[in-house]
Amino acid sequence: MVAPGLSDRFREVRARTEALAAPLSPEDQTLQSMPSASPTKWHRAHTTWFFEEFVLGPRGVAPFDPSYRYLFNSYYEAVGPRHLRARRGVVSRPGAAEVGAYRAHVDDQMLRLLAEDDDPALLGIVTLGLNHEEQHQELLLTDILSAFHESPLAPAYRLPAQRPPPRTSASYAPARFASYEGGVAAIGADPSASFTFDNEGPRHRVYLEPFALAHRCVTVGEVRAFVDDGGYRAPALWRAEGYDRAKAAGRTCPAYLRFDAGVALGFTVDGEVPLADDEPASHLDWYEADAIAAWLGGRLPTEAEWEHAAAAEPVTGERFDLRPAPAAGDGLTQLYGDVWQWTSSAYSPYPGFSAAVGAVGEYNGKFMVNQMVLRGGSCFTPPGHTRATYRNFWHPDTAFQMTGARVARSL
């Protein structure tokens, strides 16, 4: 056996994916709302393809179906041609049940391998595959939420028995700010960490000017005040590209949110529900987050500022309960477990970064352009998958992810 406990972790991660797909019908699992999203069925198959392509295949195990190498490759040019991402939703076959059979077959082959093979290299690629699958668990949730949001029926993902009781509307208290002296700081993953993605390193030094960071994320109530104050019609608050996009689209509030007779209604895994003013705002694109931070008298933090502050705090707040919650407690709150937090930092390689050799080297490095970094984690992020050094990244116009903001100030 390559590592004690790896088989159990494999079973746990694979079972969680299936549990997340369980509330969905076969028709639900084929939905693709836009090119940036993927069907649930595809996520289930692609995460299986990863183990078949990078673990089983190199060890001589025959593929379950040779055509799946084309259908379920995501973006690995070194592997070969693939089905267009924007067209994943038109593939009705294999069906959801057939994908289930594929997963079961590969799981059986993987568990046999983990029980018998003691190759040290196996630990690294399987661990990467499991973390990769956890990323797709989060994407599965955001993608089906996007698809359901397109439906005139506004269906709920979560079954009635799974839904928490309605929240009582509550006002929000002004954010408190924690101050940091600045100076030379080290950021990036420690080489001794048990697992990190390649884009989290190398660890290196940065210089920080003195700054302050809000103790919580931007709230629904603050977004309401921004809207009421004409924030979407105030070009001085916005980057030109973002203002032009919002104006052309006729945007008057963030995605998945609307105000009806003074009530904030948000589209969630429980359908459209009233939101309390003290809940963290979600589904902000970067342009909105940046404009709201400016309206609140601050700015978005750099990723180095965020990491420096977060590294001094314990990793707490992971809930994976699929709904952001109001801030509670002293010190920095909502670092993890509520909404991803946009930063002002462009996604680029750290000094000394180099991609791994082979197809797995395409995992992160080739996306380091035209995207912005998010930090923390959200209520859609699987447990154990968050840490201070984790670098999420999306294009600045992305709003279908569980994205929010935290305000920083220069001192």
- Mean pLDDT by 10-residue block, N- to C-terminus, for the chain (411 residues)? 87 98 98 97 98 97 97 92 96 98 98 91 94 98 98 94 83 95 97 91 97 98 98 98 97 96 95 96 98 98 98 90 92 96 98 83 82 97 94 98 98 97
Q: Is 193 left (phi over 0), alpha (psi -120 to 50) or beta?
A: beta
Residue 182: partners with Cβ closer than 8 Å, 6 or more residues away: 207, 208, 209, 210, 211, 411
Which fold would CATH assign to domain 173-410? Answer: paralog of FGE (formylglycine-generating enzyme) (3.90.1580)
d(CA 86, CA 267): 24
Q: Which helix (H) or strand (E) holds 259?
A: strand 257-260
pLDDT at residue 1 in the model: 67
Residue 236 DSSP symbol: G
pLDDT at residue 359 in the model: 65
CB neighbours of residue 90 within 10 Å = 11
Q: Taking the CA atoms of the chain, what radius of gyration do you get in angstroms?
A: 22
pLDDT at residue 2 in the model: 74
Residue pair 339/404 in contact by the 8 Å Cβ criterion = yes
**Where are the chain's structural domains?**
6-155, 173-410
Listed as own residue / partner, the contacts of 119-122 with beta carbons closer than 8 Å and 24 or more positions apart are 119/2, 120/2, 122/2, 122/55
Look at residue 313 and give its three-state secondary structure. coil
DSSP string, 129-193: HHHHHHHHHHHHHHHHHHHHHTSTT---SS-GGGPPPPPPP---PPPPEEEE--EEEEES--TTS
CB neighbours of residue 117 within 10 Å = 14
d(CA 346, CA 297): 22
Matching residue, tokens 């973002």: 242
pLDDT at residue 38 in the model: 98
Residue pair 199/368 in contact by the 8 Å Cβ criterion = yes
pLDDT at residue 284 in the model: 98
pLDDT at residue 362 in the model: 63
